[in-house]
Structures are given as C-alpha cells and as structure tokens.
Amino acid sequence: MKLFEKNNWIIRNLILALLFVLVLIFGTGIFLNLITRHGKYVTAPDFTNMSLEEARRAADEAKVGIKVRDSIFVKGLDGGVVYRQSPEAGATVKMGRSIFLTINSFVPKKLVMPNLINYSFSEARAELRNRGLSVGHLKYVRDIATNRVLHQSINGRDVAPGEKVISGSAIDLTLGLSSTGSTSVVPRIVGMKYIHAQEALHNKCFNVGRVHCDKDIKTYADSTNATVWRQDFDGTVKGLGTPVDIWLTLDASKIPAND
C-alpha cells in the first residue's frame, strides 16, 4: 500500500513538472512574440523632405521608429528636413524597427575627403555615404578591372584624399572598364521619387541624364518630392555610364496606372 502511494506521489509530481515546463514554454513564446512582434511587418514610409515632426507622425502611423543618424548640407534643400533614410522607402521592415535618417543641416560643414582610389564602385559608394557625401557623374575608361575607381573629382577638379569638402558634395568618379562585363540593364524607375531614381540608376552603374521637369517644379525641394513619370531605355541593355534621361512631375495622374 505504501509503495502504491509513493508511486502515485512520484507520478503526480512528474505530471505537475511536465505541465509547468509546458506552461513556461508557451508563456515564453507569447512573451517573445509580443516583444519581437514576430511575423508582423510593415512598409517603411517615405520620409524624404519631411521635417522631423512630420517624420515622427508618419513613423507613428506606420508603427516604426526613427533615429537621426547623420546630417549633410544640400544646397537648395530646406534645413532640418530629411534627405535620406535607411532602410529605403518602400522596404519591408519589422514593426517597431527604427528607420535611420540623414537630415539636411542649416549650414554647410566641412568633411575630410576619403581616398577612394582602387576601391570598387560599391565600396566607394558606401564610403561616400558614410562620410556624408554622394556619388556624382560616372565616367568609364578602359582598364583591366571594371568598376575600379581610378580618379575622384568635383566639377572637373581632382580632389585629393584629406582635402576638406562641403558635406553633401557630389563626387565624380572615373571607373575602369574591362572588355567583359561592360553593360547592364537599365532599371525601371518610373513611379520613383527623384532621389530614389538616382540611387537606382547608380546601383546599375548608369548616370542621370537630362532631367525634364514639369512647370510647377521650381525648386530643388520640389524636385525631391517629384516622381519620375517617364524615362529613357527602360529595360534596355546599355553600356555602363550611359546617361538616362528622366521626366519629373508633381501630378500623380501622369504616373502610368500600372506603376
């Protein structure tokens, strides 16, 4: 009889221990889902040209956070507005994630020009972005390696490593072009804002060509809010560095319906 009671006590405690473990696992799962918002994703808003207060309101509506990571000076753009963001607008992000913003400063500041010579184009772009600079015109010349940086300049003038340059400056790059891998497909940029269209073209090693603006686009700030409604060479294979003409509008009705 005592042995039977002892066995019942052992079995009862084993069952209770198993139930406790199951409850703990289940509760932990619920807690982690609440903390990490597991499986819940949202689309990153486009904060371009917004003030910080406007960006905060847009972030709250989209269930994401914002953090100012850097500032640059872009002539013609209002001080204090968002110039760039990471992740980019339209990216799928986890709910509650912070979007990092680069703000246009009110006054220009000087930055140290990095040495990009012999960098790959992708490495040079990343370095310029980290320094608060941007990619300007891409020029290709024959070389043993495609997209190797050979020269760096501003408005046709060589700029030496260590030289002070204004933040936000566009750095023109001369890149190598081998006999292979000298072409790429022009991406579709219709429906993108101007800044994002520039990024998309540079991603594929093309230049922005002539920019045709509607009459109501009168300032640089207007252009940052404008959308590409027409482009050259959509989906066409072209040589690296080819200029792609674009047409900008503030009139949403001009954007093709399928975009």
User: What single letter denotes the amino acid at residue 12?
Assistant: R
**Alpha-carbon Rg for the chain in angstroms:** 26
Instruction: Report how far residue 213's alpha carbon sits from residue 255's, in angstroms, rounded to the nearest whole number.
Output: 14
CA distances from 34 to 20, 31, 61, 94, 147 (A): 21, 5, 19, 12, 46
User: DSSP readout, 118-130?
Assistant: T-BHHHHHHHHHH
Confidence band, pLDDT 50/70/90 cuts, at residue 27:
low
The CATH fold assigned to 183-254 is Trypsin Inhibitor V; Chain A (3.30.10)
* pLDDT-above-70 percentage for the chain: 85
Q: Positive or negative, the Cα torsion across 64, 203, 123, 180?
A: positive
Query: Which three-class secondary structure string do you get for 64-83?
Result: CEEEEEEEECCCCCCCCEEE
User: What single letter denotes the amino acid at residue 21?
Assistant: V
Examine domains 115-177 and 183-254 and report if their fold is the same.
yes
Q: Does the structure show a pLDDT above 90 at 174?
A: yes
Of the CA atoms within 13 Å of residue 154, those in its CB half-sphere come to 15
Instruction: Report how far residue 99's alpha carbon sits from residue 85's, in angstroms, rounded to the nearest whole number.
Output: 7
Q: Does the structure show a pLDDT above 80 at 137?
A: yes
Instruction: Report how far residue 246's alpha carbon sits from residue 175's, in angstroms, rounded to the nearest whole number.
Output: 23
Average pLDDT over residues 165-193: 92
Task: List the chain domain ranges.
Answer: 1-36, 41-104, 115-177, 183-254
Confidence band, pLDDT 50/70/90 cuts, at residue 7:
low
H runs (alpha helix) in the chain: 2-36, 52-62, 121-131, 194-203, 220-225
Higher pLDDT, 3 or 215: 215
Closest by alpha carbon to 205, among 227, 173, 245? Answer: 173
Q: Does the structure show a pLDDT above 50 at 3?
A: no
Is residue 25 classed as helix, strand or coil in its secondary structure? helix
Q: What is the pLDDT of residues 28-86, one digit of tens each?
A: 555 555 555 555 889 899 998 899 999 999 999 999 999 998 888 877 788 889 988 88
Is residue 14 classed as helix, strand or coil in its secondary structure? helix
Confidence band, pLDDT 50/70/90 cuts, at residue 2:
very low
Residues 112-151 as b/e (b if ≥16 CB within 10 A, e otherwise) read ebbebeebbbeebbebbbebbbbbbbbebeeeeebbbbbe
* pLDDT-above-90 percentage for the chain: 55
Here the tokens at position 69 are 């990571």
CATH code linked to domain 115-177:
3.30.10.20
Q: What is the structure's pLDDT at 21? A: 64
Confidence band, pLDDT 50/70/90 cuts, at residue 10:
low
CATH classification of 41-104, choosing from 3.30.10.20, 3.40.47.10, 3.40.50.620, 3.40.50.970? 3.30.10.20
